[in-house]
Structure 1
Amino acid sequence: MSEAAILTKFRLPRQQIQQLLDLVGPTLLRQTRRSYPLSPEIQLLAALRFYAVGSFLEVVGDGYGLSKTSVWWCVHSVTDILLRHATDYIHMPSGRHELMKAHQGFHAIAGIPRIIGLVDGTLIPIANPSALDQAFICRKGFAAINVQVVVDHRGMFADMVAKWPGSTHDSFVWANSAVGQDVERGFFGQSIFLGDSGYPLRTYLLNPVTNPTTQAEHNYNVAHISTRNLVERSIGRWKMRFRCLHKSAGGLRMKPERCCAVAVVTAMLHNITVSGGAALPEEEEEEEEEEEEEEGVHNPPQLRDALHAAGVQTRQQIILTVFWLMYFFVS
């Protein structure tokens, strides 16, 4: 197959598929020839093809000589093995050098300082009625997993939480995530995250100004939107590259915990392709659009008010020190 055909069919170039085979091949290799076991190559390619299209039947129809059950086992086995290596490819910046690169990369977008990551929630449709309850029905009316992502300045996933039902509020997922708790403990120093209005305003998590009244606040919101556009594009590319996650595939037909594993593994593969410079086979890229939500209530009112007030002060300092100066200089 040509390089273009491989990229279209499996979403990864030949060289990166070979590197994945070196990673998972020894574990996939069967120690016996009984029952004509599938080779590691066939198992990996079948799994990659499923991630790309989201249909067991379509993989069967590709002519690999596999039954639907065999494809399911390939996806199951490959996903489990890749999941063990996910933290090698999905991790937050650590160390002074990586933090500085993140700060500089985000500052170059629209001038907001000290950003370490962009946080957002996205819905992964699932379709397994026998395993679902009402908690999985999201606000848009379909069954889903609510996946929280943190995207870095390169458009790669630096963190992912894939375990909550679709009805779970984004702010609740953030408050109960490891990265949310780490930043609250000061693990990332003075670094900040950007989130939409579904997230609470904190000293380390800045959202837009709801009703801007000054030019500086308008400038801040424009810069906030421009910077956060990166996380929306990254989610869109991830779902376009691996259509098993996209609503057009009809939802992942697996148990919810298996759907979560597929989400993490495809995020890992997304990072591999981005770091290797592989482009999407499709010309069009789809941006993920999420409705904004009101801030959730997960802390006692007095504590919540105090944290919000501190966040307002931090956001106002950034507006005054950066965006008023920018406005004055341009004028």
Structure 2
Amino acid sequence: MPTDAASLEIIKRGFYEISDFPNVVGAVDGTHVRIKSPPVDEHIFVNRKNFHSINVQGVCDSNLKFLNIVSQWPGATHDAFIWSNSTVCELFENRTISDGWLLGDSGYPVRPWLLTPVLNPTTRKQQSYNGAHMRTRNVVERSFGVLKARFRCIDTSAGTLLYSALMCCRIVVAVAVLHNLCIDNRMPLPPDINDFPDHGHIAGPAYNGPLNDGAIVRERLINGRF
């Protein structure tokens, strides 16, 4: 994940071109990679759709390139927990990255640096914000879709990864690196990419806690921009 101002500015321009959403330095989401039933602590790998998986967190840029990947948590782990225990979260919390927002869905807590959709929007500005947010954040869902179409070992179309949980985590990181190399070398997208949408994200809404500073930042953006 870049932290220097020049690199972050390039990322912001790419996201702004999608739907005029300003100051975005990444889109974050989770996906589930199906694995065989582990012999130890089997129950913590069962996700909300009742199959065994690794819950993978990714942050990408507007070119579908992964800026950060976290592949180490069992399927029952909530996205918000993975986020709060990630290095990327720490970069924003300690202000190493002090200018820019990540976009996430309602499975993440709204924070001054992590903007989520407005649940049940009641104004035209909120609806406009949600629309721009959805179109911009959709990049990360597409990134996971392309990743799984290129490397079908981690897609349910290929069945289940028949390795230990640790090896499955390593495989996910490896294919993410190869995916980035494909982008850097301008390799074409898989011809049947539309047959591999990413349906791996199944976390429920996050608990935002008593601090409402993120909602204040979001509301200022909505009123001043949308």
Give your verdict on TM over 0.5: yes
Aligned-partner Cα distance in 1 for 2:176–2:41: 24
Match of 2:220 in 1: 317
Asked if 2 retains the 8 angstrom alpha-carbon contact of 1:131 and 1:255, the reply is no
Distance in 1, Cα, partners of 2:75 & 2:37: 14
Write the letter of the residue equivalent to 1:203. P
CA distance in 2, matches of 1:235, 1:145: 14
Q: What residue is the counterpart of 2:197 in the other structure?
A: 287
The 5 A counterparts of 1:63-142 are 92-131=1-40, 133-142=42-51
| Aligned match of 1:230 | 139
Q: Is the 8 A contact 2:60 2:143 kept in 1?
A: yes
Alignment partners' CA distance in 2, 1:203 and 1:211 = 20
Alignment of 1:141-160 (within 5 A): 141-160=50-69
| Counterpart for residue 256 of structure 1 | 165
Question: Larger strand proportion, structure 1 or 2?
Answer: 2
Matches of 1:95 and 1:188, distance apart in 2 = 8
Between the aligned partners of 1:101 and 1:171, the Cα distance in structure 2 is 27
- Please identify which structure carries the higher helix content: 1
Per-residue CA shift, 1:198-254, capped at 9, x if unaligned?
000110000000011110100000001100111111100100100000012111110
> C-alpha separation between the residues in 2 aligned to 1:196 and 1:291?
11
Cα displacement (A) at 1:287: 2.2
SS of the equivalent of 1:196 reads coil
Which moves more between the two structures, 287-296 or 151-160?
Answer: 287-296
Query: Could you tell me how far apart the structure 2 residues matched to 1:159 and 1:95 are?
Result: 15
Structure 1 stretches of at least 4 aligned residues deviating more than 4 Å after TM superposition = none
- For residue 114 of structure 2, what is the aligned residue in structure 1? 205
Three-state SS of the structure 2 residue aligned to 1:222 is: helix
Q: How does the TM-score come out when normalised to structure 2? A: 0.95
Percent of pairs identical after alignment? 39
For residues 174 and 147 of structure 2, what CA distance do their matches in structure 1 show?
A: 11
Q: What is the deviation of 1:292?
A: 5.1
Contact 1:117 1:194 in 2 (8 A): yes
Q: In structure 2, what is the Cα distance between the partners aligned to 1:243 and 1:283?
A: 12
Look up the equivalent residue of 2:210 and give its one-letter code.
Answer: D
Normalising by the residue count of structure 1, what TM-score does the alignment of the two structures yield?
Answer: 0.65
Q: Tell me the CA shift for residue 284 of structure 1.
A: 3.4
Task: State the AA in 2 paired with 1:322.
Answer: R
Matches of 2:176 and 2:116, distance apart in 1: 25
Q: What is the distance in 2 between the residues matched to 1:131 and 1:246?
A: 23
Aligned to 1:27: none
1:108 and 1:247 map into 2 onto residues whose CA distance is 33
* Count of residues paired in the alignment: 224
SS of equivalent to 1:148: strand
Quick one: distance in 2 between partners of 1:132 and 1:292?
Answer: 20
Structure with the greater alpha carbon radius of gyration: 1
Match of 2:96 in 1: 187
Higher RCO by CA contacts (8 Å cutoff, separation 6 or greater):
2
Cα distance in 1 between the residues matched to 2:94 and 2:75: 28
Tell me the alpha carbon deviations over residues 168-192 of structure 1, each in whole angstroms, 9 at most, x when there is no partner. Answer: 0000000000111111111111211
**1:5-61 per-position Cα deviation (integer Å, ceiling 9, x unaligned):** xxxxxxxxxxxxxxxxxxxxxxxxxxxxxxxxxxxxxxxxxxxxxxxxxxxxxxxxx
* Structure 2 letter corresponding to 1:243: R
